[in-house]
A = this chain, B = another copy of it.
């Protein structure tokens, strides 16, 4: 498998989409001689699918076509050289993956044919077993929570431990702690802005543009910050570096 699971699309002050992760992504594209990708655009609600694809073309230097241009999106996934899954609204993205019959085709492409999967924000959420650790609003009337399960542990993207003065709603830490209390056998990996997990073959690496760590939350255990992936060795089937 080749997975890039990014917390977010742009870091603060950056104009280029995926700019902070361009180095490792482009070196992978080059080594695999990949020249095109399909974009799964369904998380984008208030933007334009083609504009998002154009941004990615500029940033990554490959041809990017949004899935809505294909009469048969399943076939498009089957023939894709690379799959890009945009951020936006996680609920809508996951629902559309299920409604368009794309869950199994994407799983097969990534797991069996080793097609690279690059997802940020909502696109990172749907790569985990379910979207139970999303930060977004459940905008639809019907919802499905199981997701692609390409990566075996829940990830909370856009993780932040700062707190707005006067805001009395749950902090992110409290929300994740609630998740862990309800699901005591599960871990949650909290990825800060500008950081990503990279699965390449059987290896798992962590990268942060700001040299910040990620956190691991478990019920009734102290939360720690990590800079390599060895803390995940017991819950992922990858070599952790």
A residues with a Cβ closer than 8 A to B are 8-12, 45-46, 88-89, 92, 121, 130-143, 145, 157-158, 160, 162, 164-170, 174-179, 181-183, 193
Query: Bound complex: CA of A41 vs CA of B26, how far in Å?
Result: 51
| Cross-chain contact B139 with A134 (CB below 8 angstroms) | no
Of B133, B164, B182, B193, the contact of A166 (CB 8 Å cutoff): B193
- Chain B residues closer than 8 Å to A140, beta-carbon distance: 132, 182
- Chain B residues closer than 8 Å to A134, beta-carbon distance: 137-138
| Cross-chain contact A139 with B179 (CB below 8 angstroms) | yes
Of B8, B88, B166, B193, the contact of A12 (CB 8 Å cutoff): B166
What are 25 of the A-B contact pairs (CB < 8 Å)?
A: A8-B168, A8-B169, A9-B168, A12-B168, A46-B174, A46-B177, A89-B170, A89-B182, A131-B138, A132-B141, A135-B137, A136-B170, A136-B175, A137-B176, A137-B178, A139-B178, A139-B182, A141-B145, A143-B143, A143-B145, A158-B167, A160-B167, A162-B164, A166-B193, A168-B193
